[in-house]
Structure 1
Amino acid sequence: MTNPAPALLRPDGSNLRVLVVDDEQMLTDLLSMALRMEGWEVRTAGSGFEALQSARDFEPDAMVLDIMMPDLDGMAVLQRLRQAGDDVPVLFLTAKDAVSDRVAGLTAGGDDYVTKPFSLEEVVARLRGLMRRAGTAHAAGAEPILRVGDLTLNEDSHEVERAGTEIELTATEFELLRYLMRNQRRVVSKAQILDRVWNYDFGGRSSVVELYISYLRKKIDAGLEPLIHTVRGVGYMIKAPQ
């Protein structure tokens, strides 16, 4: 890979861990090679049940998860992880390319989605983004703080507070809020949000945006003066109260 990005590490300075789950061994071997070139620890699993066991033992910082597997598919693996309280960022990997499959994967709790065939560079870049958004990885440098009224967001530590109260967000909710805050007092369309937050063209499907905006409102605006506003027929905007 050319022009490598700055190395990412765990907050304690140790190497990041990635679990790669796919029943095609050649593919897991290629992905493992690419991820180890980033300096990350990599473990592989060839089935859904093996993935669940490896996730418990390895405690990965991110997971590359194939949807189509012979025993327990990726959706079922993710459901069991979330039910167990494991919020590891998940990058779905699949041959499916239908819009409904992408939306289903993301709304089920997945954080991103790559369709086969793919480039190794794309998978690495998406994993880097997932782990930074989740606050499990950091690079050297200052910790930028975004502010809108009494709402603050730390881009590196993944800490969000409003009126002094800490707010827990998922990786996708965090990225959506960050995008809105970087564009405060500016209306952003659903298409722009899909492109910037999920990096996909959903062919006009806006349900996933509406769903995550509703999640954010429940966490950010509940019982307080609203910061997130709908501009009917255009999109959404975040701004401080006047």
Structure 2
Amino acid sequence: MTKILLVEDQPTAAAYLAQGLNEEGMVVDVAHTGPDGLHQLLTVDYDLAILDVMLPVLDGWAILETARRARRTTPVLFLSARDQVEDRVRGLELGAEDYLVKPFAFSELLARVRVILRRNDRGAAAHEPTTFELADLSLDLLRHRATRNGERLDLTPKEFALLSLLIRRAGEVQSRTILADQVWDMNFESETNVVEVAIRRLRTKLDDPYPVKLLHTVRGVGYVLEARD
């Protein structure tokens, strides 16, 4: 299982990122200060370290410099509100794999994390299939076509994006946080019901006309696409 170190001094941001990565099946250790992050990086083997640049006491630059002098080769992704070219160049010259400027969408962070993991032979396969099948449901990403029992489903672009995410992770419960971020590119807030509305509309097209139901609600957790006996 992928193990990640997240060093971020803002508790709310750290909790949000850790939750999202956890929901993607990754184990995340969180440190809120530079010294704590450096200690974790030097004593634990991680697949990736995500370091905020501006940290109290010891900044991200110093953490990476110290880790490299100690011969720790853990890949590093920098996060920073500093968007000057020289800052990005400095991070890369220090040996970081990537540099992501705040603010950013979680989906972009996740994509960059996966690229780094693949680059280091620890992630998923680089090429994903473009067609998927589940029971009598078929989905063709290239043709943007979904059918059930041979009948085409008339889906909006957002409904198709939602279904494609669910079928790529069939059998895995997806939280509202992940769905809101990856389909709508928005941070989930409790008063927002966009996910519930979209799920309800998708279900009327995907499941209501057919005896076998594929889209299920896991109360208090999220939604899952699977064929149940």
Report TM bin, short chain: 0.5 to 0.7
CA offset at residue 48 of structure 1? Answer: 1.1
- The Cα offsets for residues 183-235 of structure 1, whole Å up to 9 and x where unpaired, read as xxxxxxxxxxxxxxxxxxxxxxxxxxxxxxxxxxxxxxxxxxxxxxxxxxxxx
CA offset at residue 33 of structure 1? Answer: 0.7
Whether 2:51 is the aligned partner of 1:30: answer no
Residue 87 of structure 1, aligned match among 70, 73, 92:
73
- The Cα offsets for residues 124-150 of structure 1, whole Å up to 9 and x where unpaired, read as 110110011012334398xxxxxxxxx
SS for the counterpart of 1:109 is coil
Residue 131 of structure 1, aligned match among 117, 140, 156:
117
Whether 2:121 is the aligned partner of 1:122: answer no
Residue identity matched to 2:60: G
Residue identity matched to 1:47: T
Q: Percent identity?
A: 39
- The corresponding residue for 1:152 is none
Residue 76 of structure 1, aligned match among 59, 62, 72:
62
User: CA–CA distance in 2 between the matches of 1:140 and 1:52?
Assistant: 31
User: CA–CA distance in 1 between the matches of 2:27 and 2:42?
Assistant: 15
Residue identity matched to 1:27: A
TM-score by length of 2: 0.53
Mapping of residues 1-242 of structure 1, within 5 Å: 15-139=1-125
Residue identity matched to 1:124: L
User: CA–CA distance in 1 between the matches of 2:21 and 2:52?
Assistant: 16
CA offset at residue 57 of structure 1? Answer: 3.8
User: CA–CA distance in 2 between the matches of 1:101 and 1:53?
Assistant: 24
SS for the counterpart of 2:99 is strand
User: CA–CA distance in 2 between the matches of 1:57 and 1:28?
Assistant: 21
Residue identity matched to 2:48: A
SS for the counterpart of 1:130 is helix
Is the 8 Å Cα contact of residues 100 and 109 (structure 2) preserved in structure 1?
yes
RMSD after superposition: 1.8
SS for the counterpart of 2:96 is coil
User: CA–CA distance in 1 between the matches of 2:37 and 2:121?
Assistant: 23
User: CA–CA distance in 1 between the matches of 2:71 and 2:123?
Assistant: 20
Residue identity matched to 1:72: L
User: CA–CA distance in 1 between the matches of 2:65 and 2:48?
Assistant: 15
Is the 8 Å Cα contact of residues 42 and 72 (structure 2) preserved in structure 1?
no
Residue identity matched to 2:55: M
Q: Rg larger in 1 or in 2? A: 2
Runs of 4+ aligned residues of structure 1 deviating over 4 Å after TM superposition are: none
User: CA–CA distance in 1 between the matches of 2:118 and 2:38?
Assistant: 23
TM-score by length of 1: 0.51
**Long gaps (5+) in structure 1:** 1-14, 142-242
Structure 1 residues 106 and 140 mapped into 2: Cα distance closer, same or farther (>3 Å)? closer
User: CA–CA distance in 2 between the matches of 1:65 and 1:140?
Assistant: 25
Paired residues in the alignment total 128
